[in-house]
Structure 1
Amino acid sequence: MQAFEVSAPHVFAVGDQPAPAAAPGEVVVDVAFAGICGSDMHIIHGDNAFVQFPRITGHEFAGVISAVGEGVDAARVGERVCIDPVVNCGQCYPCRIGRPNVCSAMQVIGVHRNGGFAERVNVPAANAHRIPDALDLDAAALVEPYSIAANVLSRMEPHPGDRLLVIGAGVIGLTVLQMARALGIEEVIVTDILDERLTTARELGASQVINGRTDDLEQAVLAATDGEGIPLIADAACIPAMLPAMLRMACPAGRIGLLGFSPTPSDLIQLEVIKKELTLVGSRLNNRKFPEVIAHIAAGRLDPKALISHRVALTEMPGAIDLLENHPEQARKVLVKISP
């Protein structure tokens, strides 16, 4: 079969790979579509401490089950599915308290084990979520990034009437915007330094957009909230140096959701946290959010196809990587078509 493999940092190619078989409890999925994520780029750069090379990457994908392993209902062959990449042990403390997305022995499909940039991939049967017949497979391939948005919003525990500031209007920022709107958050402010991204955010339902390069973000947020500050802040830009500003922009009792994986230290002003009794939460991957996201997409409350800027064949992936490497401002989600 054909697959995109990263054999070492900055070394990758599309070539022949052995076709996988389904182990007990697994299914084999013929991949239809897979999305290229920023974390795939981190693997290519050698910036992901969890990956072992060589690795077939890709954790955003959907397709059709073509084989099942021992212990899996044979009736699942032919099922159209999207794949939750979080594989957990079920035994450790996080798993025991219902937080499998931070399992002590977690594996991520496309990071710790081979992923979806291949014609076929074997995955645990429990991670393959059936999608409605009316849901297109290209849209289903993007359930995973929306699950990231669902997770961080869940961690911030929105209250009715809360306003939300989304920092960064890249793909994750746009999924947070759409998910917030689907959950009934009516006022969502989005900030970025690229007007093209802010235009997209406005089209997808942002109540206000702020260019942080040309406008004073803190002053604009305070003006929009009558000086009170904002209850919810989702950091989709993942710039550690912005934490002090987020602490200042948050209102008393506000919640800040952090998504970045940077090892760079942040300046945390304890006074700001304590005097406002702020809550800072980390959010990693997703905690069983796939059914929720699939339901939102099926009901028309989310529009994954609005995120897709480019569609390429598997053999064209090296060119797509070059685009994302050198002209990221020209792309939103690059979707790879792998099989009919």
Structure 2
Amino acid sequence: MKGKMKASVLHALGHFENELVDIPQISEDEVLIKVKYCGICGSDVPRSLITGARKYPLILGHEFSGEIAEVGSRVDEVRKNDRVVVAPLVPCGECEHCRATDYGLCADYNIIGTGSNGAFAEYVKVPKEHVLPIPEQLDFENASGIEPATIGYHGLQKANIQPGETVVVVGCGSIGQLTLQWAHIFGASTVIAVDISDEKLAMAKKLGADITINAKEVDPVERIRDLTGGGAEVVAETAGSTITQEQAILAAKKKGRVVFLGITHSGLELAEKTMDHLMRGEVVVQGSWNSYTSPTQELRGKLL
């Protein structure tokens, strides 16, 4: 497809221009997607306004849904007019992590919308392996949230949640709201949501949180310990704050599992009591990065 399209182009820190640019030309192994909806990721804000982008000019946008407008000559997996979403991280496919199918750990990856042009535009090109068809009953607006939803999935899968366990989600932004829903799907009997915003906590309650805690009003660690008899089996930290990261460790019971999903861009210095609880309680702290996970057969059955 040839011609021009509308796009929001980032030319420098804080400098966007709405422009007419060339429609991307695809290779034989790529597809061209007509964008229907694109979300604004929390990482897009510092990338465009604070820390800067990897390259300029750049079209941002990696959380998107759309319809296939054109396919390359070697594309058989999808067809024109298919409704799709995209896995935006494109790994090298050759390093030790890629060979082990840990694609999110690839050191030489690209992300559509950060290293190459993304979906703040009418059209975007994507490698065929990264296109995922969606069912008719899923509308494009909700489908654009699939990529951020997989962040929570990827993190909680590492926690090995057992039926009947309590899961605490610290931070009720978009990733936190999605993560608390996954917690119930994974088998948690009780999900506790922690934030400092009553509005976000109300949304968490609506989306399935059994208990909400406003950390401005009470000590969340003491409240969680009181509710659970010593701490939760699993704590997922999604706020990306050094304060909440430390609270997450303290809120876990002995031999509990803590998963860090939020990014702080700063170091974490732990108080003596936190280190004591971490060591003496044999608490497991797990990092989680991006969203590349092969679903287990058991969970695949639940989702279907």
**Scaled by the length of structure 1, what TM-score is found?**
0.81
- In the TM superposition, residue 13 of structure 1 has moved relative to its aligned partner by 2.6
Are 1:142 and 2:151 counterparts? Answer: no
Moved more, 177-186 or 87-96: 177-186
1:72-221 to 2 correspondences below 5 Å: 72-73=75-76, 76-221=79-224
Give 1 or 2: higher helix fraction. 1
The superposition leaves residues 66-86 of structure 1 with CA deviations (integer Å, 9 ceiling, x where unpaired) of 111232128611111001111
Q: Is the 8 A contact 1:243 1:267 kept in 2?
A: no
Tell me the alpha carbon deviations over residues 19-70 of structure 1, each in whole angstroms, 9 at most, x when there is no partner.
001123110000111111111112112425x621221111110111111123
TM-score of the pair, normalised by structure 2: 0.91
CA distance in 1, matches of 2:79, 2:120: 22
SS at match of 1:55: coil
C-alpha distance in 1 between matches for 2:169 and 2:255 = 18
Which structure is richer in relative contact order (CA contacts within 8 A, separation 6 or more)? 1
Partner residue of 1:249?
Answer: 251
Residue of structure 2 in register with 1:271 after alignment: 276
Q: Is 2:102–2:292's contact at 8 Å kept on the other side of the alignment? A: yes
Distance in 1 of aligned mates of 2:266 and 2:197: 24
Give, in angstroms, the shift of residue 112 of structure 1: 1.0
Name the structure 1 match of 2:61. Answer: 58
Aligned equivalents of 2:137, 2:231: Cα separation in 1: 42
Counterparts of 2:256 and 2:138, CA distance in 1: 36
Q: Work out the CA distance in 1 between the residues paired with 2:239 and 2:105.
A: 22
Aligned partners of 1:243, 1:207: CA distance in 2, in Å? 22
The one-letter amino acid of 2:244's match is M
Aligned length: 295
Deviations 1:168-201 (A, max 9, x none): 1111110001111222322110011111111111
- Partners of 1:13 and 1:76 lie apart in 2 by 33
Q: Is the 8 A contact 1:150 1:289 kept in 2?
A: no
**Structure 2 gap ranges (5+):** none
Deviations 1:149-168 (A, max 9, x none): 10110122212222111111
Paired-residue identity, %: 32
Mapped contact 1:146–1:176 kept (Cα < 8 A): yes
Which stretch of the first structure deviates more once superposed, 237-246 or 211-220? 237-246
Trace 1:256-295 onto structure 2 (pairs within 5 A).
Answer: 256-268=258-270, 269-288=274-293
Distance 1:281 1:6 in 2: 35
Give the Cα–Cα distance (whole angstroms) in 2 for the partners of residues 69 and 239 of structure 1.
44
For 2:50 and 2:114, how far apart are their aligned partners in 1?
A: 12
Root-mean-square deviation over aligned CA pairs: 2.2
Mapped to 2, the partners of 1:117 and 1:70 lie a distance apart of 26
Query: Deviation of residue 274 (structure 1)?
Result: 2.3
